[in-house]
Amino acid sequence: MPSIKEFKFSNHAKSLSPPFVIYADLESLLKRSDVVGVLQQHSPIAAAYNIVGNHTLKFPHYNQFIGIDCISTFFNDLERVANEIFNWNDINTRHVMSLPLSFQDEFNFNKATHCKL
């Protein structure tokens, strides 16, 4: 068991900013509830999201949904956009290929029981 039980990240100068942030908002109406013990129920009437990218991801995107099915269309569209961003990332980021290991290096790697930091 390690003696250090808590690790904290302290070198913030080496941290990377995220390529984008998604802001979302849901609006609901409060309706009286017929359920015993429940005073009100939230009925969603609108949903929206805004994607803000940093300098590497030029993907500004805003969409809003209004109506009874706003939640399902909100999540369906958000999933579609997430797939677009994933595909963009897959195409536009460098894939670093590792060099092939020598026989001795591969043997040592497979035999290792401890990771050195």
Q: Mind listing the pLDDT tens digit for each residue in 46-96?
A: 999 998 877 666 667 889 999 999 999 999 999 998 898 888 778 877 666
DSSP label at 63? Answer: E
What is the per-residue pLDDT for 43?
92
H/E segment holding residue 98 = none
Which pTM was predicted? Answer: 0.61
Q: Who's near 45: CB < 8 A, 6+ residues apart?
A: 27, 28, 29, 66, 67, 70
**Distances, alpha carbon 33 to alpha carbons 5, 6, 42, 67, 116, in Å:** 48, 46, 9, 20, 59
H/E segment holding residue 111 = helix 103-111
